[in-house]
Amino acid sequence: MGKNRKVTVAMSGGVDSSVAALLLKASGREVRGIYMRTWHSEDAIAPLGSCPWKRDLEDARRVADRIGIDFEIVNMIDFYKRWVVTPLIEGYRKGITPNPDILCNQFVKFGALADIAKDNGSIALGTGHYCKKRKNIDGTFDLVEPEDKNKDQTYFLAYLKQEQIRFAEFPVADLAKDEVRALATRGGFANAHKKDSQGICFLGRVKIQNFLAHYIEKNPGNIINSEEKIVGQHEGLHNFTIGQRHGLNIPSNSDYNFYVVVGKDLERNELRVAFESEKKLYHNRFKVYHLSYTNRAFPERCDLLCRPRYRDPYQEIYFERTSFDEAIIEFKRPQRALSSGQVVAFYGGGILLGGGIYA
């Protein structure tokens, strides 16, 4: 019996996953493409904005036909609602800012979808992520920055475990974005120059505030400045994030200053604002919880690098674990507007080490 070379590719309809499938097929693998249905109907959220999943599905199907691989649609709607949509809504309801893309990778793409791939006899799940996978001497694997640093997506994989990383393949890791598009063009892919997806993974170009308005009722309250004066009204704390400037609809009465959101008082239902010049958004020390490690836990006290948010440059921190899954991190340089619920990704020598959630 020959060696099993079956690989499943998560095809989103974008150019990166399409080229991932192409490269795996060219390497002699037996490739099957899968498109995940994660939303009930395009019509259901059409009034809120554009979420063109039907076009994405057709683009994925056409690429699969073009390169001659099997293609399947899997219904992940209920699973996606449970692990991504509901935590997103409930997080905003509680005043925090979750990251649905990280939840999707952790529980859906490299979780439920990987299980489907295994059940169908595949030995790996390929995706279009810009991320390198490196095998260590002890047989474990690390996730490493890709060649195209501008497209580095390791941040979104901060909550993957070893078993998930072991089963994953990232065929475009050694390519720059323009090289990926060039391969798609030579392959005759209709999506070769399709724009990268923007915004929250399942909403497309739908604004998060419009989406949340369908699930969270208005809850008017006062907007309070640093002098404890009422300067305006809000319709719900879930509409705001720390550092937000636009949408407050309150005058600063100053030519060179403006209000920004600096906090939320859930008990009093008050939105706290201050002038940007007051520097109330900058902090060095943060508590993080729900620590996760891509390979092995690092020392209880150590110096690390991190990305405070996606696309943020590396920052130096001192890490001190205070319990099994909690720690205090102290930045060498103060950071602006880091919000509860957001994810910090830890690094060392270009290797993704894990992540934590700001408390």
- The DSSP code for 70 is E
Residue of 51, 104, 131, 306 marked active site: 104
The half-sphere exposure of 301 on its side-chain side, counting CA atoms within 13 A, is: 0
Catalytic residue check, 51: no
- CA dist., res. 63 & res. 40, Å (int): 24
**CA angle at 257 for the pair 241 and 285, rounded to the nearest 5°:** 45
Q: Are 51 and 42 in contact (CB under 8 A)?
A: yes
Residue of 51, 131, 201, 306 marked active site: 201
- CA dist., res. 168 & res. 162, Å (int): 10
Q: For the residues of 238-296, what is the DSSP string, one character each?
A: GG--TT--TT-----S-SS--EEEEEEETTTTEEEEEEGGG-TTEEEEEEEEEEEESSS
**Tokens coding 219:** 């809850």
- CA dist., res. 83 & res. 54, Å (int): 23
Which sequence positions are flagged as catalytic? 104, 201
